[in-house]
Structures are given as structure tokens and as C-alpha cells.
Amino acid sequence: ARWLAGTAAEQLGDYDRAIEEYGEAVRNDRGNRDAVLSLLRLLEAQGLYEDALPILSRYRSENPRDPELLVQTIRFAHRAGAPKVAEGAAKGLEAIPGQRGRAAAERAASRAA
């Protein structure tokens, strides 16, 4: 219900309310991938990279092998100036079969940026 309320608020252009609703959806269900991705999209648009790190950490505690959220963690951590968090996520991504190249690409993109 909170994710749907966030979606409605976002569609109406009330981004602060959308962030609040998505945040509640994530707090109520740490595994709610849709709410996490929606929340990350809005936080990124507003440049609130540091605010995303605790959300990503909570999600990853429940879903440590989700490659897309590991990539998001690398990107947000880099932008927030948290290289240790980014490297930890990159190592987690490398540990997933078939994701070693993606981890290398994310490291290279971070260094290039």
C-alpha cells in the first residue's frame, strides 16, 4: 500500500511525499525491491546520494546477492564519497557467478568519473 501511495504521489509531482511513502514501504518490508528502486531513483534525481546508503544497506542485509542493487550501491557510494562501501559492494558483486565483468566495469566507471 505504501509503495502504491508513493507511486501516486510521484505521478502527482509530490516528490517529497513519494520519498516518504517509498521510505515507509522499505521500512515495512526490507525486501520490497520495487520500493527500493523507486526511492533510489528519486534520491538520485535530487542528488541525495548519502541518504541512499542506509536504504541500500538494509535491503542488502535481506538480499545480499541482488546484482542490480549491488551495482546501485557501488554507484551511490562512489557519488557519496564512500569508497570502502563501494569496494565492499564490488567484491560482493564479483562473488556472484557471471558478475565479475560487471564489477570490473563498475570499478572502472567509478575511477573514470
What is the Cα 105 distance to its own chain's centre?
18
| Residue whose C-alpha cell is 513519494 | 18
pLDDT at 9 over 90: yes
* Amino acid in position 101: G
The per-residue pLDDT for 71 is 97
90/71 Cα distance (integer angstroms): 8
User: Looking at residues 20-34, what average pLDDT do you find?
Assistant: 92
End-to-end CA distance of the chain: 38
pLDDT at 31 over 90: no
Take residue 10 and report the three cell numbers written for it. 510521484
Collapsed DSSP state (helix, strand, coil) of residue 74: helix
* Residue 80 near residue 104, CB atoms below 8 Å: no
Whole-number percent of the chain with pLDDT over 70 = 100
Instruction: Give the pTM.
Output: 0.91
Over residues 47-93, the pLDDT tens digits come to 999 999 999 999 999 999 999 999 999 999 999 999 999 999 999 99
* Residue 89 near residue 77, CB atoms below 8 Å: yes
Take residue 68 and report the three cell numbers written for it. 542490480
pLDDT at 30 over 90: no
